[in-house]
Amino acid sequence: MAVLPFRLSWRTTLILIYLIANIKTLPFAWHVRVFYHFFRNMPRKPVPPKQIVPREPSKSKSTRKILTHPLFTPVQISTRTPLLETDYNFHKSNSTYFSDLDVSRTKLMTRIISPGFKKVNAQLEEEGHRGRMVVALGAVHVTFRKEIGIFEKVLVRSRILGWDEKWAVMVSYFIRTKKAPVGGANGPDKGEELCAVGLSKYVVKKGRFTVKPDRILRMGGWLPKKKLDQAGSETCNGEIKLSLADVQRKDDGAEDAEGLESAQTPAIGGRVVLDEKTAAAAESAAHALSVSDTDNSAWNAEAWDWEEIEEERLRGLKLAKTWLALDGELCEEFDKN
């Protein structure tokens, strides 16, 4: 039996136990978590779009396939709430949600942005844009639904909702496993409970020049080429003009067959149902919160052409458009005072 070369006093033992139990809140622990996911999810070399899939291992025994495009596939991290992250009720403190969101967003954005980052940076240098190219967080909003207890394990699941000419918008869910899943009114319970929802928006800058998310996604191989006979306008460089005005036009034509469904439209898994043409995308939305494995064999590149991806992008922007508009309204309110 191995014997330690030294004896620990009970005080030292208690201090070590305390530090280990709160390792998540130690100095530089946040930096380690962020940079771990940053380097782990950065591709070592350029890969074809079909191979760009989430890297997190799946612990689920579900045999369901991922029916969504890899761009909209969620990524997932797991975390717990140590003592130093709790409030006076010994629940997860409100401020600590944001540090976990930092880690989850880093994992997602690194996977999506890095394939086309260097290519776009080189193009911008040739076009005369100087300065360092950075990905900056513009805003975060969190809605709290259920308390999270001390040392309770939760999953933070993030995915891209959509993007316009400036912002890339993503949604994050704090989820915990139910102890006794039961059947619900809307179908079988997934055994998961939603604790909080977060919305975030990112912008990519080259110096003071704003880089459109569409440009980076296209150079990274996430988006197919747009056909000339498909709806939409283009810039002189062949890039698609993307803005929240597209969402508004969709809302104005919601009663048309090709428009998005109205707010009263039934939902699948809590998400808006699209028309028959995008039924596959709607089905994928129903599973987006329950699957996060690396099985991407169900994705068919031919089934996800430019029009299908554009439909999903606009659907996501429609969900976030009120929050996006609120930012400008609050700034206007500040100017009035």
| Geometric angle at alpha carbon 333, from 332 and 336, rounded to 5° | 90
C-alpha to C-alpha distance for 136 and 205, rounded to whole angstroms: 7
Pairing relationship of beta strands 168-177 and 154-163 according to DSSP bridges? antiparallel
pLDDT attached to residue 4: 57
Q: Is 38 buried (19+), middle (13-18) or exposed (0-12) by CB count in 10 A?
A: middle
In tens, the pLDDT along 154-203 reads 999 999 999 999 999 999 999 998 876 555 554 455 688 999 999 999 99
pLDDT of residue 336: 86
Two tokens, residue 147: 């308390």
Work out the mean pLDDT of the chain and round it to a whole number: 75
Which percentage of the chain shows pLDDT scores above 70?
A: 64
pLDDT tens digit sequence for 85-103: 999 999 999 999 999 999 9
Measured distance CA(186)–CA(272) in Å, rounded = 14
pLDDT confidence bin for 286, thresholds 50/70/90: very low
Which domains can be identified in the chain, with CATH numbers? 16-336 (3.10.129.10)
CA–CA separation, 50 vs 222, rounded Å?
Answer: 9
pLDDT of residue 67: 55
Residue 21: burial class (beta carbons within 10 Å; 0-12, 13-18, 19+): middle
pLDDT of residue 69: 82
211's tokens: 């880089």
User: Residue 6: its pLDDT value, please?
Assistant: 64
Over residues 239-247, mean pLDDT: 47
How far apart, in whole angstroms, are the C-alpha atoms of residue 313 and residue 71? 10
Closest by CA to 309, choosing from 202, 200, 232, is 232
CA-atom Rg of the chain in angstroms: 22
Q: What is the predicted pLDDT for the residue at 221?
A: 86
Q: With a cut of 90, say whether residue 79 has pLDDT above it.
A: yes
- The pLDDT-based confidence of 55 (bands split at 50, 70, 90) is very low
Task: Answer yes or no: pTM beyond 0.85.
Answer: no
